[in-house]
């Protein structure tokens, strides 16, 4: 029968408190999964017609909820209700306040396209892409505008740009690819 001293008891207790290597691996996997999924969830929760690859003026993935202006929130609400003319009023105010907002220019292009003002729409998308050449929403929506105008080659060129800039699970790329396929089947 061996006698344990208080020192050996404390050493054993400390060894029992250490996490197992298996637990450490599971914690690391959970951390990596959260790091990957959180931006995707933020994008899905607050999509403003696309996102910038740089994240600087990104509606869905770059803005914190409290950083989105009142005008942009109202414009998005009206767009969701298909009140494109009403949305343009708020988007114009946003552009006056923040002329370098690629998201505001992108939504202006979207609302104008939905109202049938294709020239204004293209101009707004071009402005968004001049500010952020990799703005996913503007690339997708300008591609859809090109399809509306019968410019398949232009839409495919924008899809190629999206393919270069999009990483895993890029909805803008998927949506433009689907629109191109539907266009090809219809024509």
**What is the distance between the alpha carbons of residues 163 and 2, in angstroms, rounded to a whole number?**
69
Assign residue 150 a region (left: φ > 0; alpha: ψ between -120 and 50; beta: otherwise): left
Is the domain spanning 46-186 CATH 1.25.40.10? The answer is: yes
CB 159 within 8 A of CB 173: yes
Residues in the chain, pLDDT under 50? 37-66
**What is the distance between the alpha carbons of residues 24 and 162, in angstroms, rounded to a whole number?**
38
Q: What are the residue ranges spanned by the domains of the chain?
A: 46-186
Q: Could you tell me the pTM of the whole model?
A: 0.67
Q: Encode pLDDT of 12-52 as tens digits.
A: 555 556 666 776 676 666 665 555 544 444 433 344 444 44
Q: Tokens 């914190």 identify what position? A: 64
Structure-block tokens of residue 31: 């951390």
pLDDT at 67: 72
pLDDT at 105: 98
Residue 154: count of CB within 10 angstroms of its CB: 15
pLDDT at 167: 77
CB 105 within 8 A of CB 128: yes
pLDDT at 31: 60
pLDDT at 168: 78
Structure-block tokens of residue 102: 């690629």
């Amino acid at each position: 029968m061996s006698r344990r001293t208080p020192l050996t008891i404390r050493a054993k207790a400390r060894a029992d408190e250490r996490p197992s290597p298996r637990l450490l691996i599971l914690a690391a996997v959970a951390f990596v999964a959260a790091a990957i999924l959180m931006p995707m969830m933020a994008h899905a929760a607050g999509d403003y017609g696309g996102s910038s690859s740089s994240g600087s003026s990104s509606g869905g993935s770059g803005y914190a909820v409290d950083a989105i202006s009142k005008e942009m929130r109202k414009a998005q609400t009206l767009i969701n209700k298909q009140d494109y003319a009403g949305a343009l009023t708020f988007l114009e105010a946003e552009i006056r306040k923040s002329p370098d907002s690629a998201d505001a220019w992108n939504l202006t292009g979207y609302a104008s396209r939905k109202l049938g003002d294709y020239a204004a729409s293209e101009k707004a998308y071009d402005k968004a892409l001049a500010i952020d050449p990799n703005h996913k929403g503007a690339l997708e929506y300008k591609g859809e505008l090109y399809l509306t105008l019968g410019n398949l080659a232009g839409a495919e060129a924008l899809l190629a740009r999206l393919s270069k800039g999009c990483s895993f699970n890029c909805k803008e790329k998927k949506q433009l690819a689907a629109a191109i396929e539907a266009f090809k089947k219809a024509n």
